[in-house]
Amino acid sequence: MDKSRSAPRRRNPRAISPAESSSDELAAGSEHDEAERRRASWTIHKGFTPQRPQQQDRRYSDSESTDELAVDANEYWRTSRSRRRSRSPVNRHTRRDSESQGSSGEPVDEDMESSNEQEAPGDTDAWSDRSATPVPPPVPPKPDHLNYKEKFVMRGHIRGVSAVQFSPDCSMIASAGADSDLKVWDTATGRLIHTFEGHLAGISTLAWTPDGQWIATGSDDKTIRFWNVKTLRAHPRIFSGHHNYVYQIAFTPKGNILVSGSYDEAVFMWDVRRGSVMRSLPAHSDPVAGIDVVHDGTLIVSCALDGLIRIWDTISGQCLRTLVMEDNPPATCVKFSPNGHYVLAWTLDGCIRMWSYLESRVIKTFQGHVNNKYSLSGCFGLYGSPNIKYEPPLAFAVSGSEDGAIIFWDIVSKQILQRIDVHEGVVLGVHAGTLNGKRMIVSCGMDKTVRLFEEVSEDGSQPGEEDAASADSNMRDDHPTDDADGDNAMTDASGLPSAAATPAEDVTMT
């Protein structure tokens, strides 16, 4: 037996070169010996000292393998994206190895270096893996004021004007008052289109049909009459049935039912086609001063000088809610909000209250106007930049005042957005509309004028707007008083002087 194969071999602990190895070791056929000789050869001839492989950079993978190519591809790219690496991790790795130390030889903060790379202009790699999720734009600031300017002053009524309203398309304005005349004006020019005559006493209220073809008026002569704005003729049928002054009227959305409130303390529902009363609601124990219909026609709201506000079901005629204040001030006007969830009520204590009628409670109270004697009215409207979609939309409430002012309140904050002092005397009615993208306000009062206001930007231009303003009904005056000129003339129950001859109409542009 060959002793060189059976005896255990001994290694020279200091010699790893072939020159120092024994002939028996060089003759050995072991693979292990062959590896030893190869390693010794590399050391002598190339000056290379084998070192322990460096641990692979763990920034690119959580794998235990030191070979980056051995990492699962999906895991590799998922980890790379989440840490905002570029699509060339090998190049970046090389760059980091060379730049991992600063000029002083100290290590550079890796997080700071990464931040600098992302913010460096022109570094496309830093931006390439950023999320594609769009960032919502910042919420635009809420305007803190409005800017309505007077455009036209329409003169022609010889007594106080108690009611004013835009047509459904806002191309025309209807106004009526104590002179018993109904006048129709062109919104764009402020010119008078026609004057309708026929009532025997002052007119306290008016309403357009939804198609804009007819105007209904309620008068102190206890009747309701219809006027056709296309043919400029009166309807032959006169709606009579109330036993006292007709004080407020409103159409349902389809225009087939007219609701009226009267000083006879009743609310009538009229069949417009037949000209007859469909239903009489024993609504209040005092004169009914305000009426409105919700936007879908299912509910009616009424208010009276007894201080009660009542919600009625249109189909059954049943009273669904009765809203009462503690001190019970007389209520003179009510309007449904555009969404139909709330009711705005004017009372003779200088307040306008917004009711949540489903909860039977007041949620807002608007103050700043004067209202102790007359039946004032107003409406809702929208404001804010037309190029910005506000959620929810920005809304205001607007009303006249007994001191000659028109006041706008923000619905949410109750802040006064604008106050316009142009009327001489009580402002009885205000209505909002939009024509050709321009928001407008029309008002009327005891100074016998109808005034049109247009919203303008701070630079004087007119801001455009989609069909925005709410459509609400009008107003009236409640207690008898002397007229605005101080004449001690006989006044009717609407609080406005009796009728007289009509002079030539006039329009003033401002």
Assess contact for 291 and 333: CB atoms under 8 A. no
Q: Verify cis geometry, omega within 30 degrees of 0, for the bond prior to 143.
A: no
Beta bridge partners of 332: none
Residues 319 and 398 in one domain: yes
Q: How far apart are CA 308 and CA 329, in angstroms?
A: 9
Residue from 379, 255, 266 nearest 312 by CA: 266
Q: What is the pLDDT of residue 132?
A: 67
Please, which pLDDT band fits residue 144 given cuts at 50, 70 and 90?
confident
Q: At a CB cut-off of 8 Å and minimum separation 6, what does 472 contact?
A: 292, 335, 336, 378, 379, 380, 431, 432
- How is residue 107 annotated by DSSP? B
Residues 170 and 220 in one domain: yes
30-50 pLDDT per residue, tens: 555 555 555 555 444 444 444
Q: What is the pLDDT of residue 421?
A: 95
Q: At a CB cut-off of 8 Å and minimum separation 6, what does 427 contact?
A: 376, 400, 401, 402, 404, 405, 406, 443, 444, 445
Helices (H) and strands (E) in the chain, counts: 7, 30
Residue from 90, 335, 112 nearest 207 by CA: 335
pLDDT above 50 for 380: yes
Mean pLDDT of 487-494: 32
Question: Angle 495-498-502 (CA atoms, 0-180°, nearest 5)?
Answer: 125
Residues 170 and 25 in one domain: no
Residues 24 and 84 in one domain: no
Asked if the structure places residue 96 within a domain, the reply is no
Asked if the structure places residue 310 within a domain, the reply is yes
How far lies 42's CA from each of 35, 319, 484, in Å? 11, 106, 117
Residues 351 and 398 in one domain: yes
Write out the residue range of the structural domain in which residue 71 sits.
56-90
pLDDT above 60 for 449: yes
Q: What is the pLDDT of residue 404?
A: 95
Residues 315 and 383 in one domain: yes
Residues 31 and 62 in one domain: no
Asked if the structure places residue 254 within a domain, the reply is yes
Both tokens of 96, joined, read 């980091």
Assess contact for 135 and 448: CB atoms under 8 A. no
CATH number reported for the structural domain that contains residue 460 in this entry: 2.130.10.10
Q: How far apart are CA 39 and CA 48, in angstroms?
A: 9
Asked if the structure places residue 492 within a domain, the reply is yes
Asked if the structure places residue 73 within a domain, the reply is yes
Q: How far apart are CA 3 and CA 375, in angstroms?
A: 130
Residues 441 and 484 in one domain: yes
Q: How far apart are CA 313 and CA 120, in angstroms?
A: 68
Residues 449 and 305 in one domain: yes
Asked if the structure places residue 129 within a domain, the reply is no
Q: What is the pLDDT of residue 40?
A: 52
314-328 pLDDT per residue, tens: 999 999 999 998 888
Asked if the structure places residue 174 within a domain, the reply is yes
Assess contact for 245 and 263: CB atoms under 8 A. yes
In terms of DSSP bridges, do strands 233-234 and 223-228 run parallel, antiparallel, or are they unpaired? antiparallel
Residues 28 and 82 in one domain: no
Q: What is the pTM of this model?
A: 0.66
Summary mean pLDDT of the chain: 76
Residues 408 and 281 in one domain: yes
Mean pLDDT of 243-272: 95
Please, which pLDDT band fits residue 79 given cuts at 50, 70 and 90?
low
Beta bridge partners of 195: 183
Residue from 145, 160, 167 nearest 215 by CA: 167
What is the count of structural domains for the chain?
3
Residues 179 and 270 in one domain: yes
Per-residue b or e along 63-79, where b marks 16 or more CB atoms closer than 10 Å to that residue's CB: beeeeeeebeeeebbeb
Asked if the structure places residue 382 within a domain, the reply is yes
